Amino acid sequence: MRLVIARCSVDYAGRLTAHLPSAPRLILVKADGSVSIHADDRAYKPLNWMSPPCTLKEGSGDESHLWTVTNKAGEKLIITMEEVLHDSTHELGVDPGLIKDGVEAHLQELLADRIETLGEGYSLIRREYMTAIGPVDILCRDADGGTVAVEIKRRGEIDGVEQLTRYLELLNRDPHLAPVKGVFAAQEIKPQARVLATDRGISCTVLDYDAMRGIEDDKLRLF
Cβ–Cβ under 8 Å, residues 129 and 139: yes
Whether residues 82 and 107 fall in one domain? no
- How large is the average pLDDT for residues 130-157? 94
Indicate the residue among 39, 63, 89 that finishes a domain: 89
Range in 15-29, 59-73, 100-114, 124-138 with the lowest mean pLDDT: 100-114
User: pTM score, two decimals?
Assistant: 0.55
Does 39 fall in a domain?
Answer: yes
Residue after which a domain boundary falls, among 64, 89, 114 = 89
pLDDT of residue 32: 83
Does 218 have pLDDT greater than 60? no
Q: Name the residue with higher pLDDT: 153 or 32.
A: 153
Q: Do residues 24 and 41 make contact, with C-beta atoms less than 8 angstroms apart?
A: no
In this structure, are 38 and 115 located in the same domain? no
pLDDT at position 220: 37
Residue spans of beta strands (DSSP E) within 14-119: 17-29, 35-38, 48-50, 54-58, 66-71, 76-89
d(CA 25, CA 37): 7
Assigned domain for 8 exists: yes
Domain boundaries, position 138: 103-213
Count of other CB atoms within 10 angstroms of residue 1: 12
**How many structural domains comprise the chain?**
2
Residue 108 and residue 65 share a domain: no
Whole-number pLDDT of residue 99:
53
The whole-number average pLDDT for the span 23-33 is 93
Mean pLDDT taken over the chain: 89
